[in-house]
Amino acid sequence: MKSKICRMTNQRKVILEELRKSTEHLSADELYILVREKLPNISISTVYRNLEALSECGLVGKLELGKTQKRFDANVEPHFHIRCVNCGRLDDVPFAVISKIEKAIQEVEVAVSKLTGYEMKGYQLEFLGICPKCKEKMKNQENSTNGRKDKNGDKKDQK
């Protein structure tokens, strides 16, 4: 975690509160909408600037995964994410999986360092998949495209 001292202005406090209230990993634009309810005169550039400052102070995590918009995370403890390749939804990987992954990564880091001569400073790991909502949507689209089937799996006549 970074140790830069961060002055906690009222704007930063509100931004941090709104981010912590959310169960999602919000973009600056999404946070801006929430923050404006409490600070109507705040600008989008102020939200961006303060998010960057909070990230540099180690109070929020900045996620720059894939080619998606930056997202911010109130959880600054080490953890991994899974991103839906269809809609971009981003979720935390359940904690029980983390220790197994980290042990394997530590071994890989040592090997990569030896092979490349790099001094390792960290890594980014992102899991990719299709979220439950998109899976359900795809299933429904498939069913409507293929026509309705009866309990035996035979197509019913559509009217």
For residue 155, the model assigns a pLDDT of 57
Q: What percent of the chain has pLDDT over 90?
A: 47
Round to whole Å and give the CA distance between 140 and 99: 36
Inform me whether the pLDDT recorded for 150 exceeds 70: no
Round to whole Å and give the CA distance between 70 and 29: 10
For residue 51, the model assigns a pLDDT of 96
pLDDT in tens, 84-143: 999 888 888 877 777 778 888 888 999 999 999 999 888 877 889 999 999 999 998 888
Round to whole Å and give the CA distance between 93 and 103: 16
Please tell me what DSSP assigns to residue 125.
-
For residue 68, the model assigns a pLDDT of 66
CB 92 within 8 A of CB 80: yes
Round to whole Å and give the CA distance between 125 and 1: 17
Structural domains of the chain sorted by starting position, each given as residue range(s) with its CATH number in brackets: 1-74 (1.10.10.10), 78-146 (3.30.1490.190)
CB 61 within 8 A of CB 72: yes
Round to whole Å and give the CA distance between 30 and 32: 5
Inform me whether the pLDDT recorded for 27 exceeds 50: yes
